[in-house]
């Protein structure tokens, strides 16, 4: 009794082969994306965790204050395994003719530090007595092509001191070469790290160690220990405290991997939802068209359970065929993605493992999606009443005007062909609704991917063009008088220059703390614009401090509140919060120069100058001219920084681009299924029209017009739901480091809509060809059987 159902299943799948292929391919893609993204995420997390353990990456870093006492207190905690005292200083470096703002970090001679150990790539670790031998961090060495035996200069006081490169090293602190949490992106010409002897570090700073790095037992995070050590550190004068999770490089990488985790769930869910909907629509229509057959089966002894299992098979077959190879391909692809990612970022350790749970979960994921899609149609089939089903359906009631004709009475007078189209839309609500759902889901797939690209491009333009309006930033070797900044205008090619003072600060309010950078700008600055959280532009307030919007929730503050801001030297000012600003990158603090000097009670110097170019200036020539000035430590061209950001986004664009292609392919599959089934289930209707003398070409036009009208009806709803889905996808990436607000170009909506209409038109071609092959006698014979 069961074998006939097996044969029927195979024949039905063969008869609807294009639709089943589309569903299977969609499941394959969704499962493959899940396997590739989730295993890549798992591998990367394991790589970071293993790197942290192998190189004893600090769980907590405490800068400033009484380092000796802080270190002793930390060492007395039984949960602390190692404590390292070191000296860290931001100092100008010079490689050949290039000046840059570097960072010098002391390491003990002869032996690796107990915390934040290094991987020596080339050369050797400094021995005792090698005070002027340094290790260069890998990113800096690669950019400047530095190798053991080469040399560079470090500015100590007013003198450039010559040092020798003893080796190239990887550090767990600079896998991503970020200067700090608010400056995650720096050009290689403007930031580099060198590891120096304690003796040389103290010459640079003019004082002893200023930082304590703490490593917990087995490297495991411990929030209670971190809270206790942080509180004690602040009591002892520490000015900057951050955990491993908050450390700039690690935080940037964590946010990046978090995005991969979000995509590992979000995109496969969309893809499998599309596959499920396509399967549901097709199987619902298949069950509807086969009601007489189902009634015959039940009347001849097949059980309802057998019928249920039979129609569930239409979900099981594409589910298995798509899920198993999709899971295997995804797991294999994850290995390539992991190695590519860790290679680009120079992660010291790459963990590539096989996770059976991912393979199993991916297969189950795809199979459950297809089974759920088949469940409702299968239940409907199993509950058919044999006698009613075998009689077939008899239309009831007379014809009536369509909704469009009732709303717009003039449409009642249009030619009969158009009235047939309007009435065809409402005559079968089930068919119309299924098609509209297919269009909506297709637009959602396209807009989520396209929206990510549009938003990223918009945010880059907003940050680097609309907000940061300077053409370049000139960094000085030390605090500089504002009059010296004004003198930069005398250089050919510079149209204007404004002084800026940037310093690290810890903002405190309501027993919460946030470390960031405070930038003091000219009161009437034209180099930096401020976008408030309501979407408008504001001037730099004359009274109070402007904070990034993330601090509002992190510190539980509002406009008008007073906050404590502790600078590196330990001094504290207490400004009021004048406004919150919306900036895509970072959470900075800004204050006008006059107000800052009133708060501190003294005139303030500048640490940098924001400059604008004359039109047509050669930026490279200007850079060389400015960096020849002795007091200048580095020069950063805004366009170079913008271009660097775009290069870093290549992998992101590539991933989203692939998702867009996949989304477009699945949109085609979804609409193809809807349209082809629309046409296939109207065989009797077409045969009737042919029998009364209607030309096949006219019938094709009627059906095409009806389907295109239904597709057009789904587009507005699809644009709305697609926009909401894209916004939900982006909101998962928000943090104090990045603020993503959805921005979709109007042309994107236009092109997406036109693309969906084009897909709807093209996907009808196979069905319309089938109309030319319809035989009236055969349809009449089948109908009378």
Which candidate, 467, 105, 30, places its Cα nearest to that of 268? Answer: 30
For residue 207, the model assigns a pLDDT of 85
Bridge partners (DSSP) of residue 517 are 504
For residue 150, the model assigns a pLDDT of 94
Record the tokens describing residue 172, joined without a space.
Answer: 């767990």
- Residue 577 φ/ψ region, left for φ over 0, alpha for ψ in the -120 to 50 degree band, beta for the rest: beta
DSSP assignment of 661-689, as one string? HHHHHHHHHHHHHHHHHHHHTTHHHHHHH
Bridge partners (DSSP) of residue 502 are 519
SS3 217: helix
For residue 419, the model assigns a pLDDT of 60
Place of tokens 């001037």: 539
For residue 1, the model assigns a pLDDT of 47
Phi and psi at residue 47, to the nearest 5°: -65, -45
Query: Rounded to whole angstroms, how far apart are CA atoms 530 and 535?
Result: 10
| Bridging pattern class, strands 589-592 and 512-521 | parallel
| Bridging pattern class, strands 494-509 and 564-567 | antiparallel
Alpha carbon distance, N-terminus to C-terminus of the chain = 22
Q: What is the mean pLDDT of each run of 10 residues along the chain (785 residues)?
A: 75 80 83 88 89 94 93 95 94 90 92 94 87 92 93 90 94 89 79 93 89 94 93 89 90 78 76 76 78 82 86 90 93 88 79 89 90 88 76 52 62 59 65 77 82 85 89 88 86 92 89 89 93 88 92 92 83 91 89 92 90 88 87 85 72 68 68 66 68 72 78 89 86 74 91 86 73 64 52
Record the tokens describing residue 388, joined without a space.
Answer: 């009613």
The torsion of the CA quartet 637, 642, 648, 650, rounded to 10 degrees, works out to -140
Record the tokens describing residue 692, joined without a space.
Answer: 């009364």
Structural contact between residues 666 and 442, judged by C-beta atoms closer than 8 angstroms:
yes
Model confidence, pTM: 0.75
For residue 579, the model assigns a pLDDT of 94
Instruction: Set out the domains of the chain in order of their start, with CATH numbers.
Output: 1-57+247-394 (no CATH), 61-84+210-243 (no CATH), 88-208 (no CATH), 414-467+638-785 (no CATH), 482-604 (2.40.70)
Structural contact between residues 100 and 190, judged by C-beta atoms closer than 8 angstroms:
yes
Structural contact between residues 86 and 246, judged by C-beta atoms closer than 8 angstroms:
no
CA angle 334, 338, 339 (to 5 degrees): 120
Between the alpha carbon of residue 316 and those of residues 285, 305, 309, 365, the distances in Å are: 18, 16, 10, 12
Query: Rounded to whole angstroms, how far apart are CA atoms 238 and 133?
Result: 30
Which candidate, 454, 355, 353, places its Cα nearest to that of 722? Answer: 454
Binning the chain into helix, strand and coil, the percentages to the nearest 5 are 55, 20, 25
Phi and psi at residue 266, to the nearest 5°: -65, -50
Structural contact between residues 726 and 452, judged by C-beta atoms closer than 8 angstroms:
yes
Structural contact between residues 596 and 543, judged by C-beta atoms closer than 8 angstroms:
no
Record the tokens describing residue 379, joined without a space.
Answer: 């239940």
For residue 404, the model assigns a pLDDT of 59
SS3 645: helix
Label residues 631-669 b or e (16+ Cβ within 10 Å = b): ebbbbbbbebbbeebeeeeeeeeebbeebbebbbbbbbb
SS3 110: coil
| Residue 114 burial class via C-beta count within 10 angstroms: exposed 0-12, middle 13-18, buried 19 and up | middle
Helix (H) and strand (E) counts in the chain: 25, 23
For residue 381, the model assigns a pLDDT of 85
Give the distance from CA 209 to its chain's centroid: 39
Query: Rounded to whole angstroms, how far apart are CA atoms 371 and 315?
Result: 5
For residue 771, the model assigns a pLDDT of 67
DSSP assignment of 19-49, as one string? HHHHHHHHHHHHHHHHHHHHHHHHHHHHHHH
Bridge partners (DSSP) of residue 165 are 134
Query: Rounded to whole angstroms, how far apart are CA atoms 223 and 60?
Result: 10
What is the enclosing helix (H) or strand (E) of 777? helix 776-784
Structural contact between residues 371 and 312, judged by C-beta atoms closer than 8 angstroms:
yes
Structural contact between residues 463 and 583, judged by C-beta atoms closer than 8 angstroms:
yes
């Amino acid at each position: 009794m069961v074998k006939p159902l097996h044969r029927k299943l195979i024949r039905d799948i063969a008869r609807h082969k294009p639709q089943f292929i589309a569903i299977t391919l969609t499941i394959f893609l969704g499962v493959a994306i899940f396997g590739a993204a989730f295993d890549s995420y798992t591998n990367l997390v394991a790589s970071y965790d293993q790197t942290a353990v192998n190189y004893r990456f600090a769980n907590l870093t405490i800068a400033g204050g009484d380092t000796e006492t802080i270190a002793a207190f930390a060492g007395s905690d039984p949960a602390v395994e190692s404590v390292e005292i070191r000296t860290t200083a931001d100092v100008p470096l010079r490689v050949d003719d290039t000046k840059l703002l570097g960072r010098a970090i002391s390491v003990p001679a002869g032996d690796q530090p107990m915390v934040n150990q290094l991987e020596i790539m080339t050369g050797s670790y400094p021995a005792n007595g090698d005070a002027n031998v340094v290790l260069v961090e890998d990113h800096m060495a690669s950019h400047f092509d530095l190798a053991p035996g080469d040399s560079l200069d470090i500015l100590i006081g007013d003198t450039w001191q010559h040092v020798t490169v003893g080796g190239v090293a990887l550090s767990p602190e600079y896998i991503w070469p970020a200067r700090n949490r608010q400056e995650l992106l720096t050009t290689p010409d403007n930031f580099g790290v060198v590891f120096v002897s304690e003796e040389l570090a103290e010459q640079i700073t003019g004082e002893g160690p200023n930082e304590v790095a703490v490593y917990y037992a087995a490297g495991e995070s411990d929030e209670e220990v971190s809270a206790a050590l942080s509180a004690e550190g602040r009591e002892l004068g520490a000015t900057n405290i951050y955990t491993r999770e908050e450390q700039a490089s690690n935080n940037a990488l964590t946010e990046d991997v978090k995005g991969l985790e979000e995509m590992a769930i979000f995109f496969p869910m969309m893809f499998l939802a599309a596959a499920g909907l396509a399967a549901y629509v097709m199987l619902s229509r298949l069950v509807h068209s086969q009601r007489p057959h189902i009634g015959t089966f039940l009347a001849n002894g097949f059980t309802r359970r057998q019928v249920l299992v039979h129609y569930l098979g239409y979900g099981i077959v594409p589910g298995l065929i798509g899920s198993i190879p999709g899971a295997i391909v995804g797991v294999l692809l994850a290995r390539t993605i992991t190695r590519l990612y860790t290679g680009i970022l120079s992660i010291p350790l790459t963990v590539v493992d096989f996770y059976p749970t991912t393979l199993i979960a991916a297969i189950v994921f795809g199979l459950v999606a297809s089974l759920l899609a088949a469940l409702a149609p299968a239940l409907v089939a199993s509950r058919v009443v044999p006698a009613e089903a075998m009689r077939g359906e008899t239309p009831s009631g007379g014809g009536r005007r369509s909704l469009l004709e009732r709303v717009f009475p003039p449409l009642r007078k249009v030619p009969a062909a158009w009235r047939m189209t309007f009435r065809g839309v409402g005559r079968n609500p089930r068919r119309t609704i299924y098609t509209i759902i297919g269009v909506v889901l297709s637009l959602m797939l396209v807009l989520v991917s396209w929206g990510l690209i549009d938003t990223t491009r918009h945010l880059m333009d907003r940050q680097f063009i609309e907000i940061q309006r300077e053409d370049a930033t000139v960094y000085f070797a030390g605090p500089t008088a504002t009059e010296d900044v004004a003198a930069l205008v005398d250089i050919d090619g510079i149209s204007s220059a404004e002084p800026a003072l940037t310093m690290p600060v810890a903002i405190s309010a309501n027993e919460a703390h946030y470390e960031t950078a405070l930038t003091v700008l000219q009161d009437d600055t034209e180099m930096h614009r401020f976008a408030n959280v309501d979407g408008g532009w504001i001037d730099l307030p004359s009274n109070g401090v402007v904070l990034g919007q993330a601090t509002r929730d992190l510190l539980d503050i509002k406009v008008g509140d007073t906050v404590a801001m502790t600078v590196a030297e330990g001094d504290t000012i207490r400004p009021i919060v004048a406004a919150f600003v919306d900036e895509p990158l970072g959470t900075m603090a800004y204050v006008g120069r006059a107000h800052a000097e009133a708060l501190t009670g003294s005139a303030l110097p500048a640490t940098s100058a924001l400059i604008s170019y004359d039109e047509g200036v050669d930026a490279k020539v200007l850079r060389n001219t400015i960096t020849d000035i002795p007091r200048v430590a580095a020069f950063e061209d805004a366009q170079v920084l913008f271009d660097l950001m775009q290069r870093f986004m290549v992998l992101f664009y590539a991933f989203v681009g692939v998702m867009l292609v996949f989304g477009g392919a699945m949109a085609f599959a979804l609409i193809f299924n809807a349209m082809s089934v629309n046409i296939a289930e109207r065989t009797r209707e077409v045969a009737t029209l042919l029998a009364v003398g209607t030309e096949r070409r006219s019938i094709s036009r009627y059906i095409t017009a009806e389907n295109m009208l239904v597709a057009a009806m789904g587009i507005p709803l699809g644009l709305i739901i697609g926009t909401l889905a894209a916004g939900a996808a982006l909101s998962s990436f928000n943090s104090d480091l990045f603020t993503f607000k959805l921005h979709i170009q109007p042309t994107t909506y236009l092109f997406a809509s036109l693309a969906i209409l084009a897909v709807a038109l093209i996907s009808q071609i196979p069905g319309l060809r089938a109309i030319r092959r319809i035989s009236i006698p055969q349809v009449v014979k089948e109908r009378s059987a």
